[in-house]
């Protein structure tokens, strides 16, 4: 239990700079645990722990301050052959609710034997909680409907 909670905290902590949303906004989606579970499910516990140890170190070493944080996220995560695809998947999972297939080159090098890497929505809720809709001033199509005639004025927020 301790380990899972620790993992969740670390996952949320790095998700804040990765998504551009506050921790409270991410927690409020109710999806953090599901997304972390999806990462676990596909890449396994060992690599997940390794990844979250690295992200925690980045946050600690930079104190979460720019421009150091941006440099470390780009150099250690996004530019990394191993962690880049994974990081991009986590970002897109928060925004769209779906797991994207890790690319074949990544699978060949790091993903032997892993399962569940196909493109899929994590759950019906994940689709409805995607951050992309809020980012564009809308709501998930088919859910959280804003009411009659709401579309005829600019979004309120």
**How would DSSP label each residue in 76-92?**
IIIT-TTHHHHHHHHHH
Nearest distance from C-beta of residue 3 to other proteins, angstroms: 27
Region binding other proteins by CB under 8 A among candidate stretches 39-47, 52-60, 91-99, 109-117: 91-99
Distance CA 85, CA 112 (A): 15
Chain positions 110 to 129 lying near other proteins, rule: CB under 8 A, are 119-121, 123-124, 127-128
Nearest to 123 by CA among 26, 44, 5, 38: 38
Residue 4 is a binding residue for other proteins (CB under 8 A):
no
The rounded distance, in Å, linking the Cα atoms of 56 and 101 is 25
Binding stretches for other proteins (CB under 8 A): 17-21, 70, 73-74, 78, 87-88, 91-92, 95-96, 98, 100, 119-121, 123-124, 127-128, 131-133, 135-139, 141-143, 145-155
């Amino acid at each position: 239990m301790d380990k899972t909670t620790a993992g969740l905290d670390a996952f949320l902590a790095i998700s804040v700079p990765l998504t551009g949303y506050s921790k409270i906004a991410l927690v409020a989606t109710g999806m953090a645990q599901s997304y972390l579970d999806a990462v676990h499910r596909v890449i396994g516990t060992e690599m997940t722990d390794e990844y979250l140890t690295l992200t925690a170190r980045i946050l600690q070493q930079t104190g979460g301050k720019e421009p150091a944080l941006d440099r470390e996220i780009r150099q250690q995560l996004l530019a990394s052959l191993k962690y880049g695809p994974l990081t991009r998947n986590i970002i897109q999972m928060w925004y769209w609710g779906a797991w994207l297939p890790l690319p074949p080159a990544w699978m060949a090098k790091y993903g032997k034997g892993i399962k569940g890497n196909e493109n899929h929505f994590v759950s019906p809720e994940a689709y409805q909680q995607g951050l992309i809709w809020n980012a564009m001033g809308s709501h998930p199509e088919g859910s959280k409907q804003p009411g009659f005639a709401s579309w005829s004025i600019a979004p309120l927020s």
